[in-house]
Homo-oligomer: A and B are copies of this chain.
Amino acid sequence: MSTPPKEPNTLRKGNWKQDPDAVKADILRVAKEEFATYGLSGGRIDAIAKRTTVSKRMIYYYFENKEGLYKSVLENVYAALRESEETLMVGDLEPADALALLTTATFDAYASNPEFIRLIAIENIHNAEYLTRSDVVQTLNRAIIDKLTDVCDRGKAAGTFRAHADPLELHWTISAFCFYNVSNRATFSASFGDALHCEQGQARLRRRLRDIVLGSVVIGYEPPD
């Protein structure tokens, strides 16, 4: 999240140290901002290069072309989010508590990663053609489904979850609300005001989402007001 301290963007003429990894990371960092802001067709290679410590040539050296760079950015943010999900330990919580935690954690994770949301939205405009062609991403989605499967199984075994509770459907539901909350903030606010996007409104939506999710699978769930 926090941008690493960087040498100032003086074009290093004459004497510089080779540092491929730092260069690649720097390019990716800037490219992520650019593509998240302007999209794939709207993002400018020259603009990215200018905000980098290195020259435009390096983008092509390391990423081949614009689409290659975009694809790398996509894999990058995707992996970062999934890894953050990975760290959530819900194994020893009661099923309902575990589900509540997964839900609110997703809400928070999406809300604090608008660039990720924007990039996924952009990728959907492109019919996910780059995501589909990426073998990296395919493997990253097991984790969240596995967690929800475990929670559902335990909940059903304990008799507290309804029989129809389904991990994929749950993930879809949670993701839908959390995603929309960020992705459509601009148009929703423009149309209806920002009552739901001010701090208070977000807290309300967060609780409401938790109640909706738990209410849909936990037998006899009552919101803790």
Contact = CB atoms under 8 A, between A and B. Distances in A.
Interface string A36-69: 0011111000000000000000000000000000
Q: So how many copies of this chain end up in the complex?
A: 2
A141 interface: yes
B137 A191 contact: yes
Interface string A185-211: 111111110011000000011001001
Contacts of A188: 172, 175
Looking at A181, A192, A211, which has the most chain B CB atoms within 10 Å of its CB? Answer: A192
19 contacts: A40-B42, A41-B42, A118-B125, A123-B186, A123-B187, A124-B186, A128-B189, A131-B190, A132-B190, A137-B190, A137-B191, A168-B195, A169-B196, A169-B205, A172-B192, A173-B208, A175-B188, A176-B184, A212-B216
A215 interface: yes
A128 B118 CA distance: 13
A168 B196 contact: yes
Interface string A109-131: 00000000010111111111001
A169 B123 CA distance: 28
Contacts of A180: 175-177, 179-180
Given A122-B125, A138-B191, 9 more contacts: A120-B187, A121-B125, A123-B187, A169-B208, A172-B188, A173-B177, A173-B208, A177-B177, A212-B212
Interface in A6-47: 38-42
A106 interface: no
A140 to B, nearest CB: 8
